[in-house]
């Protein structure tokens, strides 16, 4: 939306509108996200319930005039619409567009005149024709302008966000405090939507981060998940935040590049880093270069070597299959090399082109994208014409490689035992208290859906 259209849009709201922002609806009450890469209604060894939307929490924290509705059941959504709204907005991903179409139709049916859309799903080429306004990137400032004020990027405040976690059978074992320290990514991997969606890189207000961490500590939370694309890319901020982690004795998870972890490994470990996650993608350097990953396989090997003796640390590696230059046999060999690297837990997904990414343009022009079923854009299906592998073969490869990389005996013997026995060896009394008593008890008392704004 250009400057003049933006000004006209803001002026169209002469009085404070009633704005409701929603996520996609849940199909059943127990819907969850599988921590190893699957979603669905089945027994899961590691899962997190689908209950909290970080994007909507950020908007509500900074623009309190709006109301938000996170992952409602369908009947809950319909009842909410009956309260009457000037604007209903939706935050969603590409694979959720089918459900969002239903929600938009229901909102229109109930007389809602203005429909907004945000989050990565709005990069789909059909979305602008379905809604009245599209928000690409963080929307706090643009929504605040509707109510007559501004929220500059450098002043965006962090909300309280928590997520329950289960190691198996849906039993709640702990609650993570969720945290963003920055938005955007300095790299431009061809498969990633972040450079397209978050065109500006900026950090979150540090004072608000401090308030949120203090609240997590007060609630008895021991574990923090940092949701940044690349934690550590802002060194000064990362240093201040990790000092706060150390002050509250948090254990924390973060995703970053192998090179960044290597640069700060010892300091971050002493400040509580226990679950480092690296997007390895492939152990073929040519495959990495083809998707502009800008990461060396030697850095990954060095990361695993240097973290091997870090007590209580569980290393997570992400990989992708389906590179255009690889046959099925070469894909299996790449998975074997990835297994041999020695990560404690691994995830695997199928390379999926998303709209407006360089990968979408490349695969569409060279091979063709034949599958436009939105539900297949969950990193589990081959949606383009691979030159060597059929969709059915890719399903078999995904199932086989996933089972190979995460055999239960390996995950529990090697991964979780490293976390548990390493923690016991480093500080047995503190580890037992925090892991098996304090965290589970605190988790049972925490209502993660309660909206808290500091």
The DSSP string of 30-95 is T-EEETTS-BSSS--SSEEES---HHHHHHHHH-TTSEEE-S-BHHHHHHHHTT--SEEEEE--GG
- Burial of 154 per CB tally in 10 Å (0-12, 13-18, 19+): exposed
87 - beta bridge partners?
Answer: 19, 114
Cα separation, 187 vs 262, in Å, equals 18
144 within 8 A of 133, measured Cβ to Cβ: no
Q: Is the pLDDT of residue 39 over 50?
A: no
Q: Does domain 16-153 have CATH number 3.30.365.10?
A: no
Query: pTM for this structure?
Result: 0.91
3-state helix/strand/coil string of 372-391: CCHHHCCCCCCCECCCCCCH
What is the dotted CATH code of the domain comprising 173-445?
3.20.20.70
pLDDT by residue (tens digit) across 61-91? Answer: 999 999 999 999 999 999 999 999 999 999 9
State the span(s) of the chain assigned CATH 3.20.20.70: 173-445
122 within 8 A of 91, measured Cβ to Cβ: no
pLDDT at position 100 is 97
Strands 223-226 and 174-179: parallel
Residue 173's pLDDT band, with cuts at 50, 70 and 90, is: confident
pLDDT by residue (tens digit) across 407-430? Answer: 777 766 666 777 777 777 778 888
Cα separation, 330 vs 353, in Å, equals 21
State the span(s) of the chain assigned CATH 3.40.50.280: 16-153
Nearest to 38 by CA among 448, 404, 403, 338: 403
pLDDT at position 11 is 56
Task: Give me 450's structure tokens.
Answer: 């309660």
Average pLDDT over residues 394-406: 93
Spatial CB neighbours of 155, under 8 Å, sequence gap ≥ 6? 205
């Amino acid at each position: 939306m250009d400057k003049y259209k933006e000004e006209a849009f803001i002026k169209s709201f002469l009085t404070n509108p009633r704005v409701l922002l929603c996520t996609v609806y849940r199909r059943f009450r127990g819907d969850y996200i599988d921590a190893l890469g699957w979603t669905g209604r089945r027994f899961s060894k590691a899962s997190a319930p689908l209950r909290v939307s970080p994007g909507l929490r950020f908007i509500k924290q900074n623009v309190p005039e709006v109301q938000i509705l996170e992952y409602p059941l369908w009947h809950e959504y319909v009842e909410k619409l009956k309260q009457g709204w000037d604007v209903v907005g939706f935050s969603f991903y590409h694979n959720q567009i089918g459900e969002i179409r239903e929600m938009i139709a229901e909102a229109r049916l109930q007389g809602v005149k203005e429909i907004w859309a945000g989050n990565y799903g709005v990069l789909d080429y059909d979305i602008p024709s379905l809604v009245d306004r599209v928000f690409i990137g963080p929307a706090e400032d643009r929504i605040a302008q509707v109510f007559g004020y501004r929220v500059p990027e450098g002043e965006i405040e962090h909300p309280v966000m928590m997520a329950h976690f289960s190691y198996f059978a849906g039993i709640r074992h702990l609650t993570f405090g969720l945290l963003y320290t920055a938005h955007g990514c300095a790299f431009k991997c061809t498969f990633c939507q972040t450079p397209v969606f978050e065109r500006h890189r900026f950090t979150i207000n540090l004072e608000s981060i401090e308030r949120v961490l203090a609240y997590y500590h007060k609630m008895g939370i021991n574990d923090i998940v940092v949701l940044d694309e690349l934690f550590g890319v802002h060194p000064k901020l990362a240093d201040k935040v990790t000092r706060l982690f150390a002050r509250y004795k948090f254990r924390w998870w973060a995703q970053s590049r192998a090179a960044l972890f290597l640069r700060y490994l010892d300091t971050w470990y002493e400040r509580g880093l226990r679950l480092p996650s690296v997007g390895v993608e492939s152990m073929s350097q040519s495959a990495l270069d083809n998707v502009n990953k800008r990461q060396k396989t030697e850095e990954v090997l060095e990361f695993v070597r240097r973290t091997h003796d870090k007590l209580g640390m569980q290393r997570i590696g992400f990989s992708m299959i389906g590179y255009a230059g690889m046959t099925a046999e070469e894909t299996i060999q790449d998975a074997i090399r990835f297994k041999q690297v020695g990560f404690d837990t691994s995830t695997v997904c199928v390379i999926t082109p998303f709209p407006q990414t360089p990968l979408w343009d490349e695969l569409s022009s060279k091979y063709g994208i034949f599958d436009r079923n939105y539900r297949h854009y969950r990193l589990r299906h081959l949606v383009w014409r691979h030159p060597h592998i059929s969709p059915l073969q890719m399903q078999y490869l995904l199932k086989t490689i996933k089972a190979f990389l995460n055999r239960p005996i390996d995950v529990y013997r090697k991964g979780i035992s490293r976390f548990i026995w390493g923690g016991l060896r480093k500080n047995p009394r503190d580890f037992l208290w925090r892991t098996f008593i304090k965290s589970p008890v605190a988790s049972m008392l925490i209502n993660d859906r309660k909206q808290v704004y500091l």
